[in-house]
Amino acid sequence: MPIFNPAVETMERKALLELQNERLQIVINQAYSNVDFYRRKFDEAGLSPDDIKTLEDLKRVPFTTRKDLMDNYPYGMFAVPLRDVVRLQFPLGLYGNPIVIGYTRKDLKIWRELVARIMAGIGITEHDILQVAFNYGLFLGAIRFNQSAELIGAAVVPASIAPAEVQLRIMKDFRSTVLASTPSFALHILEVMQKKGIDPRTLSLKIGLFGAEPWPPEVHRFIEENWGIKAYDIYGVTELVEPGVAGECPAQAGLHICEDHFLAEIIDPASGKLLEPSEEGELVLTTLTIDAYPLLRYRTSDITTLHLEPCPCGRTLARMDRVLKRSDRMITVRGINVFPEKIKEVLASFQAIGPGYTISVSKKKGMNDQLKLGIEASAEIMGAGLEKKEAFRDALHLALRRAIGLRVEVELKERSAVRG
Ligand code: ZN
């Protein structure tokens, strides 16, 4: 299988570490000089950018968290003037202050190459037809597949959120060879195929590029065996680049991190102590080349393990295990990130609700499928007629859908019947 950028992807680790070290000096200096937040953090820790001379010194730099990004909304984390920013993106569904991420033209160019690297690495070429079945409105990364596929020369079909039947029709008529979607949507398409008696082998599809939610190895096996395609995982972090931080290679033994652009560390999520890469812990990333929105030691809340030994595919870039756990309370339901804190915010705007509520998630093949809320409602609502109750439930559905982008099943209960 071809390697898109062999000079980097197969670089001797010693040379890679030197490159990281060089880039680290630059990003630390830029962050310190241009972002008040970092300058304050360094000053408080009694650190000067000159103190960070080697990768080993990085552990002295304080972590950056999602709360820091929220506290510095909108432009407090930007390291370049706004005239140099060409795109602004804001992830939906976060609670409290939103986050705005900026990108310069150079940042976007790098990002485009990173996804192209991952695509080329699993055999996507100019002969392929890539069907993108991500929600372009809710998933910031969807558009990335278009731009990176175009860089490779593959044809893109932005099928977006068309229902499974339409996706199948497109797949058949256009002879799509690659599907990019959440694994849960791929499962859904597969189920529809089985129900309609369509033999997947009559389609031209050969590769699935799946991500944006945790998917257990059983689902991976199930899709590959029942669909007859190769399924690869792609990883990103909404606050950095998503996708494009890491991706699987043909060896399917972990996701290669684009280490020339991101420096990865593993920490104990409780104590913040640096762990050995091979130990399971929270992934912490430092951007090495991003100009507009540099993040130093950003806590991703994703739990994983790193592998530094060479991969059978020939790449020397470290691999991370597929992320199945988080260190915070975020859950991903059918590819959409949901914070319980956000649900709490929405519920607080309804006087007739609370104080108790429960959040539960039903599963399908080990993946989160449907969000359910058990809500205490006032005696007035509970005692009301069917019509009023339905109107209340509709208002609640709408508010939740607007806030988190998902349909939520709601069960109303007498006050004090639930506690959560
Ligand atoms: Zn590999």
* Mean pLDDT, 10 residues at a time, the chain of 420 residues: 93 97 97 98 97 94 96 97 95 80 96 96 97 89 93 97 97 98 95 95 96 92 96 94 95 97 98 97 98 98 96 97 94 90 91 88 91 92 90 93 90 70
Phi, psi dihedrals of residue 197, rounded to the nearest 5°: 70, 25
* 286 SS3 class: strand
Count of domains in the chain?
Answer: 2
Of 328, 362, 377, which one is at a domain's C-terminal end? Answer: 328
Structure tokens at 22: 């060089």
- Is 31 a member of any domain? yes
Are 63 and 269 a contacting pair, CB within 8 Å? no
Q: Which amino acid is at 298?
A: Y
Q: Residue 122 C-alpha to ligand 1 middle, in angstroms?
A: 10
Q: Residue 205 C-alpha to ligand 1 middle, in angstroms?
A: 23
Of 328, 357, 389, which one is at a domain's C-terminal end? Answer: 328
Are 36 and 209 a contacting pair, CB within 8 Å? no
The pLDDT of residue 176:
98
- Is 419 a member of any domain? no
Q: Residue 318 C-alpha to ligand 1 middle, in angstroms?
A: 9
Q: Residue 39 C-alpha to ligand 1 middle, in angstroms?
A: 38
Q: Which amino acid is at 345?
A: E
- Is 420 a member of any domain? no
- Is 107 a member of any domain? yes
Q: Residue 278 C-alpha to ligand 1 middle, in angstroms?
A: 17
- Is 43 a member of any domain? yes
* 292 SS3 class: coil
Q: Residue 310 C-alpha to ligand 1 middle, in angstroms?
A: 8
Domain range enclosing 399: 339-414
30 and 94: one domain? yes
Q: Residue 125 C-alpha to ligand 1 middle, in angstroms?
A: 18
Are 216 and 88 a contacting pair, CB within 8 Å? no
Q: Residue 251 C-alpha to ligand 1 middle, in angstroms?
A: 5
62 and 22: one domain? yes
The pLDDT of residue 354:
80
Is the pTM here over 0.85, yes or no?
A: yes
Q: Residue 215 C-alpha to ligand 1 middle, in angstroms?
A: 20
CA 58 from chain centre, in angstroms, equals 25
231 and 92: one domain? yes
The pLDDT of residue 280:
98
Q: Residue 298 C-alpha to ligand 1 middle, in angstroms?
A: 25
Are 128 and 151 a contacting pair, CB within 8 Å? no
Q: Between β-strands 336-338 and 331-333, what pairing exists: parallel, antiparallel or unpaired?
A: antiparallel
Residues 6+ apart with CB under 8 A from 297: 58, 61, 62, 63, 64, 265, 284, 285, 286
- Is 229 a member of any domain? yes
Residues with CB under 5 A from ligand 1 (ion): 249, 251, 311, 313, 315
